[in-house]
Chain A
Amino acid sequence: GAVVSQHPSRVICKSGTSVKIECRSLDFQATTMFWYRQFPKKSLMLMATSNEGSKATYEQGVEKDKFLINHASLTLSTLTVTSAHPEDSSFYICSARVRGVTDTQYFGPGTRLTVL
């Protein structure tokens, strides 16, 4: 099956710094990638939808200047948390939609971000 990877799996950073999380589709091309945020014991919350070669579409309440998303190729999307604060600490998960198949979304393993 299709594999989506994320890097890093865990990151700890100081408040005020920026952190970049990578999401890669390893064996397929993904025209659309999604970024989610998940708090403990809560379900996934969609942050933004990222289409290759165009600007990301952010969900209501998500600051686009704080969560920078770049989808430069069909296999890579990045999420940069800028000027991180402790309340940004969360589990970030990406998913990729298989090109040509609108219904199939594969999730990455997630990245645990802790901001001190």
Chain B
Amino acid sequence: KNQVEQSPQSLIILEGKNCTLQCNYTVSPFSNLRWYKQDTGRGPVSLTIMTFSENTKSNGRYTATLDADTKQSSLHITASQLSDSASYICVVRNGKTSYDKVIFGPGTSLSVIP
């Protein structure tokens, strides 16, 4: 069964600290993996996209890693800011055709406190 799991479910960190969010998936065939940031009451916004051959991709203070062998991905946030408080969703695309499906993870709720 195609599934995406994320951990932790929620996380509270102090402003300025780093954190790492995890994503494990069992999606096959694998096409790509995206990390989205969703602010409360808003739609998700894409942070990074990674394909099978990519191991690391950065977007400012966000760095995503992908291990296609173990089917794991992580999102590392450096020097957290209050505005990083949001839900972070791991989304894996299944298949390679125009009508393939994306599978959403449950998300990790991050709270950055002063």
Q: Contact residues of A with B, CB < 8 Å?
A: 4, 6, 32, 41-46, 49, 91, 93, 95, 102-103, 105-110, 112
- CB closest chain-B residue, reference A9: B41
Query: Measured between alpha carbons, how far is A102 from B97 in the docked complex, in Å?
Result: 8
B49 to A, closest residue via Cβ = A103
Q: With A43-B89, A102-B98, A103-B49 as given contacts, are A95 and B43 in contact (CB-CB < 8 Å)?
A: yes
**Chain A residues with CB below 8 A from B106, complex form:** 42-43
Extra contacts besides A107-B44, A110-B42 (15): CB < 8 Å: A4-B43, A32-B98, A42-B106, A43-B104, A43-B105, A46-B101, A91-B41, A93-B44, A102-B100, A107-B43, A108-B43, A109-B42, A109-B43, A110-B43, A112-B41
Asked if A103 meets B41 with Cβ closer than 8 Å, knowing A43-B104, A43-B105, A43-B107, the reply is no
A41 to B99, CA, bound (A): 28
A41 to B97, CA, bound (A): 31
Tell me which residues across on chain A come within 8 A of B12, comparing CB atoms. Answer: none
The complex places the Cα of A109 from the Cα of B43 at a distance, in Å, of 4
B30-74 CB mask vs A (1 if < 8 Å, else 0) is: 011000100001111110010000000000000000000000000
User: How many residue pairs at the A-B interface have CB separations less than 8 Å?
Assistant: 40
Q: How many residues of B contact A (CB 8 A)?
A: 23
Is residue B109 contacting chain A, with contact meaning CB distance below 8 A?
Answer: yes
- Please give the distance in Å from B97's CB to the nearest CB on chain A: 8
B76 within 8 A of partner (CB): no
Contacting residue for B32 out of A43, A46, A103, A109, CB 8 A? A103
Q: Across the interface, which residues of B come within 8 angstroms of A107, CB to CB?
A: 36, 43-45
Contact (Cβ within 8 A) B44 A41: no
Instruction: Report Cα–Cα, A103/B109, bound state, in Å.
Output: 25
Q: Shortest distance in angstroms between A94's beta carbon and chain B's nearest beta carbon?
A: 8
- Whether B45 contacts A41 by the Cβ 8 Å rule is no
- Taking CB atoms, residues of chain B closer than 8 Å to A106 are 46
Residues A41 and B109 in contact in the complex (CB < 8 Å), given A103-B49, A103-B93, A105-B102:
yes
B45 partner residues in chain A, CB cutoff 8 A: 107
